[in-house]
Chains A and B, each alone.
Chain A
Amino acid sequence: MAEFIRFDRISKFYGPLCVVENLDLSIGKGEFVSLLGPSGSGKTTLLMMLAGFEQPTSGNILLDGTAINAVPTHKRDMGVVFQNYALFPHMSVGDNIAFPLQMRGIGKAEVGERVKRALGMVQLSALVDRRPSQLSGGQQQRVALARALVFEPRVVLMDEPLGALDKNLREQMQLDIRDLHRRLGLTIVFVTHDQSEALTMSDRVAVFNKGKIEQIGTPRQVYDEPATRFVAEFIGETNLVEGVVEAVQGQEATVRLPSGAQIVSAVSGTVASGQPVFLSIRPERVDLSETRGEARNVLETEVTDSVYQGDHLRVQLQNATHPLIAKLGRRSREYPPGTKVFAAFSAGDCRVIAP
């Protein structure tokens, strides 16, 4: 995919406080990239710099090969969608959407035509004369979306656009935005702190922590192959178990746990024999059985608690030295506390992470 946006060694300081630190990131044309991280991790600041609302302290932002640091916001041709929608409260829905077109000196007839089309795209044609205050949150967000797309910007930036919506509406909008992205071939940079949102929508996810990107990759990569402890813990739920590397064989390593058990696991990054590491084991990849079975990695555990959660059964286990959580399918049998079980998982379902 051709590179379209590039952050080149971007740093941003507020006084002595470093919000973004020497960051490199490139985004391809037509790509949907999510910036995912906890609040204060620098993801929104990065977006604000891309939009031109903030200036980087050092480094360059390139759009289509040209540095845009000195280009003011209104000439950057980027559509921005804010969390609180930021609609113009004194204009009707139609005038809100017409605004970017008027700014570009487009003739009245064409403006009317395009506003109509944009409203149709977000299914709000009937509300053209309403004021934003007369709309529901979801409707307002769709107007904001239409307004940011109607002038066919080069990039669409979204700053937690769905954060204020309730769960059902949010999920619907996620699918709607993803659909628009595919149909219109938009380049979208999407900021969120909601990991499932990032996984649902993005081509690639950049996981932010303390002003740096911990890992960037496809949703599958960041979930299945977390590069760091932060990524493993931030995205989804995981069991982190301490251990020491005994041997490395290509893409696999043998790790000895404090209990003495040996685990063979896939490796992210490079580790060496004798190195203390973490093992990340996703709870839904753990199988339980009362016999030892054939699996490569088996831990002897005892059930301490078991909670039925509708779509899955959550079982808390205790090994000799550490706890373990397993999520089982709803067809699984019950495991009353005190049951001795073997927890099994394959080498590909756990990950060695250097601390």
Chain B
Amino acid sequence: MPMKIAKATFATLTVLFLVAPLIAILPLAFTSSVILTYPIPSWSLRWFEELFFADAWRRAIVNSLIIGTGTTLLATVLGTAASLGLRNRLILFRGTMRTLFLLPMVVPAVVLGVGMQVLLAGFGLTNSYLGVIIAHTVVAVPFVVVSVTGALAGIDERVELAAQSLGAAPATVFRRITLPLAMPGVLSGAVLAFATSLDEVVLTLFVAGPNQRTLARQMFSSIRENISPAIAAAAFLFIVATVLIGLVVVLSRSMLAKRR
């Protein structure tokens, strides 16, 4: 019995440790004070107003959406194509190739950022939306690859062979069989790509110009300039978005499970 209590206490403490920063920041989103500190004098939505109507914040939100959407599309297409290619048993060094695709997950973002800036400068793409989208795509692709590869691994190859034997050309097999069956994985990969882009700061610092300030980047700079509770409001938006995204992922996973 004491063991059980110890376990429960430990688990509670761990969870608290993990969510403490969230608990600390969330109530401040609704403060009426002009500084980001406790105690909260009274409740207000003024910082959400600031977020949506102050020029800098509004532009940051719009930028985040533009860059997030671009990254999602690019990363999903590339990641899905990569996963499909990695299925082919005839590919040489298949394991190495797969690791290569997952590398951006473990390479320090700072290193990637420096490299990315040098590279994009060479193409004249620094300080452009396309440059930021490309940079974000590099770190988002691994999430798509992991997610789509998982979904593809769950497809019985003989189902595709059966479709072929029933008269479906390879492109038709992909459109009617492979893609629909992998769709939950593609969707959750896309959602993860969007989430990655949304909270990416380091690469953005390196490659984005003042016109491509994303919401995360804006939070980063405003916490140094003026510690306004608008940051807390932005954080609140982030959390809501993340929870929604998480729900989509969970739903698509359970959809996948139900198919089987």
Contacts and interface: CB of A to CB of B under 8 A. Distances in A.
- Same assembly: yes
Contacts of B163: 88, 99
A133 B161 CA distance: 19
A80 B181 CA distance: 21
Interface string A134-153: 00000000001001100100
B14 to A, nearest CB: 38
B165 A151 contact: no
Contacts of B177: 88
B165 A84 contact: no
Given A82-B158, A84-B158, A90 B259 contact: yes
Interface in A75-116: 75-80, 82, 84, 86-90, 99-100, 103-104
B159 A89 contact: yes
B134 to A, nearest CB: 34
Contacts of B170: 74
Contact of A104 (B159, B167, B259): B167
A100 B259 contact: no
Interface in B223-249: none
B87 to A, nearest CB: 15
A72 B168 CA distance: 10
* Most-contacted residue by chain B among A72, A73, A82 (CB, 10 A): A73
Contacts of B164: 52-53, 72-74
A173 B159 CA distance: 22
Nearest to B259: A89
Contacts of A76: 165
Q: Range of interface residues on chain B?
A: 20 to 34
A51 interface: yes
B4 interface: no
B167 A80 contact: no
A86 B167 contact: no
A74 B169 contact: yes
Given A76-B165, A79-B166, A90-B181, A103 B172 contact: yes
Nearest to A78: B165
Contacts of B169: 72, 74
Interface in B118-175: 156, 158-159, 161-170, 172
A129 B259 CA distance: 15
Contacts of A133: 259-260
Nearest to B172: A103
A240 B94 CA distance: 50
A341 to B, nearest CB: 53
B162 A80 contact: yes
A149 B176 CA distance: 20
Contact of A80 (B161, B168, B259): B161
B165 A51 contact: yes
Nearest to B166: A100
B209 interface: no
B180 interface: yes
Contact of B166 (A72, A84, A147): A147
B186 to A, nearest CB: 14
Contacts of A89: 159, 181, 259-260
Interface of B: 156, 158-159, 161-170, 172, 176-177, 180-181, 259-260
Given A73-B165, A148-B166, 7 more contacts: A52-B165, A72-B169, A74-B172, A80-B166, A86-B156, A90-B180, A103-B168
24 contacts: A53-B165, A72-B169, A73-B161, A74-B166, A74-B172, A75-B167, A76-B165, A79-B165, A79-B166, A80-B165, A84-B156, A86-B158, A88-B163, A90-B181, A99-B168, A103-B166, A103-B167, A104-B167, A133-B259, A133-B260, A144-B162, A148-B166, A151-B166, A151-B167
